[in-house]
Chain A
Amino acid sequence: MAKGIWVFVEQRDGKIKKVTYELLSAGRKVADGLGEELCAVLPGNGVAGLAPALGEYGADKVFVLESGALEKYTTDGYANAVASLAKQYEPGAILMGCTVAGRDLAAQVAQKLGTGLMTDCTDMSLEEGQLVFTRPVYAGKAFVKASCPGVRPVMATIRPNVFSVGETQPGRSAEVVSAPADTGEIRQVIKDVVLQVSTRPELTEADAIVSGGRGMKGPENFKILEELADVLGAAVGASRAAVDAGWKSHSFQVGQTGKTVSPVLYIACGISGAIQHLAGMSSSKCIVAVNKDPEANIFKVADYGIVGDLFDVVPLLKEEFKKKLES
């Protein structure tokens, strides 16, 4: 008889994601209700040290799957390891966070185990000995309650932040089981994980934004805006035309069809001021426009307008701001 509630421990570089603790707290309650064990499944490389602390969050047992092949998340490596562990121990349920990795892994594991999976759940309860999951449909207009009475393990991905992390019990320890990690054949090769790191603030949170439009003439010229932005501690934005041209990705786009911003200072460089753009930034406290065309629409909403070549004006602005801010 399949028994035990399992929670997949999602970690990156040895740091456990909060959703894991949320699932352990919620899992503890259903495990108690069923009178079963709560187990954490911890795949990774050099992660054994993380295991004892999971007891403090409610785990009775921690399966540690150590392998060099589990250093970085790969679909095959993780799915093979978790599925073969589940085949060996036959748990009653496996819970994962509805995260990028959790969604990917859950589908693969469910398929390997030939079992049911309920995705994107927002609640979990026990009804007549069955785990029942709630998931929203139609953009939240309706909720579906679903269970898998005929198969084990029951699998579900649960959205982060729907359960709170319960109080930890310092000193409570879990039994640590080192299990062989059967990673099987791994078809994906992860060479490196490149994180997009920016020291500049988020567009929607920035107090100051320096934006460029089609007048920037090319992606390489955004460098002068970045230099000005760094002096001001500002974020860099772009108009739709600059994004369409492929100079900046859509995440930089300010406007009705991009991000709506309202910083204290907005400096628009080489942006004509189409309504599409204005709709996303005209509530900025102070708007400075730099444009060659004195007729440009952007000047109608600007508090300060500079008619001139931005390639002359922007470096000057940078120097002047630098002097002012340093003095």
Chain B
Amino acid sequence: MEKGGKQMSEPLMLFDEVREAIVGSGGEEIQLCMQCGLCTGSCPWGRTEEKSDFNVRAMFHMGRLGYDGYESDDYLFACTTCNQCAVLCPRGIKIPGVVRSMRSVICETGGIPKNLKAVLGSINSQGNPWSQEKDERTAWTRGHDVPEFTPDKEYLLYVCCTSAYDGRSQKVARAVVELLEAAGVSFGIIGNEEKCCGESVRKIGAEDEFGNLARHNIDLFKQRGVKKIITTSPHCLFTFKNEYPEQGAEFEVVHYTELLRDLVAEGRLKFSRPVSKKVIYHEPCYLGRHSRVFSAPRELMGAVPELKMSEFGGNMDYSLCCSGGGARIWMETRAGQRFSDTKVKEASERGSEVIATACPYCIVMLEDSLKNQNKDEEMSVRDISEILRESL
């Protein structure tokens, strides 16, 4: 800008050390980016009613050149790691992985958003992110006879922290148990000794905390003789399957929808009671785009008599995130900027009575949106397991 005959400019400070730190934290793919902008063009932050400043392409550019300003709460920590950009990236960059590396550089210094510090405090003291007592992890089983895991059991049922502690989500854990029992699956839970899987903790950038959680769980599972694991949450599925092996885990891991689908195919599980509802399926990012489980949830709902299943305009690889991933579940997103608000509106326009999903984070986000959109009387959010249990 020319002003008063003098050249006004802001000095641009570039630090090679920053790029090196990002690369050193596992983000070497940041160097592959060719700045085409397909990531930003497909990012859900560009599709909310109230626009956000967040721009993935710009963040990569800044991180790569090492200049200041990408590390703020509403920039680096805005990404929900939904993987939409990554499935489209022409250079095949695993973008959420690079975001995680960039966050870990900041996390080392303690520069993470304030609300996430409480999460890490709770992880360290209680082994769960919700500041709840570690000895209450099995509170969801009270009044229900849930078998304990012993080496003769085929599967360990690992219940997500959210389904273990959140009253709403506990219903999901119990529904999964009833379905497994109905199909005669040999399974059990470990319970209070388990800790959080650490998927979203790692997305904060908290590598040390993640490593501690993973090693604790792996040792515990091995010591108890676990070979196969069923998860209730796609987030646990993702980390057990893709990140735990780096720490020495060798478990076979399935999401409950995958197992139930096989059980239906084998004729061990049958749905007979009609559920006469218009149901729309919200694809959890960590089940769909991240873990490539697209057909199991749909086949299961297709097996329920009279259930009228429908789809969002964007689904499978193009499904819109709920905005709860990448540790965003623990951060505030203003109403109007939540992707789940957009989802609820579309579901309502399509005349749905039930939004079905298969992830505890999605349930939390979608239910909050139902309330802030005043749609909680016309629609409900249900986990697929709850619908299936009703149909038993």
Contact = CB atoms under 8 A, between A and B. Distances in A.
Looking at chain A, what size class is its interface with the partner chain? Answer: 20 to 34
Interface stretch (B105-113, B187-195, B377-385): B105-113
A297 B171 CA distance: 12
Nearest to A262: B131
B17 interface: yes
A171 interface: no
Contacts of B6: 114
B131 A274 contact: no
A133 B8 CA distance: 20
A244 B130 contact: no
Contacts of A137: 13, 15, 68
B364 A274 contact: yes
Given A244-B368, A256-B330, A260-B118, A278 B130 contact: yes
Interface stretch (A13-21, A89-97, A141-149, A187-195): A141-149
Main secondary structure of the interface of A (DSSP, over half): mixed
Contacts of B367: 274
B168 A274 contact: yes
B168 A297 contact: yes
Contacts of A214: 371
Looking at chain B, what size class is its interface with the partner chain? Answer: 35 or more
A258 B332 contact: yes
A140 B130 contact: no
B183 interface: no
A257 B115 contact: yes
A31 B109 CA distance: 34
B24 to A, nearest CB: 13
B3 A300 contact: no
Contact of B132 (A114, A241, A274, A278): A278
Nearest to A297: B167
A115 to B, nearest CB: 9
B314 interface: no
A240 interface: yes
Nearest to A137: B68
B132 A282 contact: yes
Contacts of A260: 118, 131
B368 A141 contact: no
A231 B18 CA distance: 54
Given A114-B6, A274-B168, A275-B162, A142 B130 contact: no
Contacts of B257: none
Contact of A141 (B8, B109, B130, B132): B109
B4 A114 contact: yes
A312 B122 CA distance: 37
Contact of B364 (A275, A280, A297): A275
Nearest to B108: A141
A111 interface: yes
A86 to B, nearest CB: 14
Given A137-B68, A257-B330, A274-B168, A279 B131 contact: yes
B319 interface: no
B332 A139 contact: no
Nearest to B7: A114
Contacts of B166: 274-275, 278, 297
A176 B382 CA distance: 73
B3 A114 contact: yes
B331 interface: yes
A320 B175 CA distance: 43
Interface string B330-348: 1111110000000000000
A142 B111 CA distance: 12
B3 A142 contact: no
A300 B68 contact: no
The 3 closest A-B pairs by CB, nearest first: A139-B111, A297-B167, A275-B166
Given A138-B18, A142-B18, A275-B130, 14 more contacts: A114-B4, A141-B106, A142-B15, A144-B13, A214-B371, A241-B372, A244-B335, A245-B371, A256-B131, A275-B169, A276-B364, A279-B118, A279-B129, A297-B167
Interface of A: 111, 114, 116, 137-142, 144, 146, 214, 240-241, 244-245, 250, 253, 256-258, 260, 273-276, 278-280, 282-283, 297, 300
26 contacts: A111-B3, A114-B3, A114-B6, A137-B13, A137-B15, A139-B71, A141-B109, A241-B371, A245-B372, A250-B332, A250-B334, A256-B130, A257-B332, A257-B333, A260-B118, A274-B166, A274-B367, A275-B166, A275-B168, A275-B364, A278-B165, A279-B118, A279-B122, A279-B129, A279-B131, A297-B166
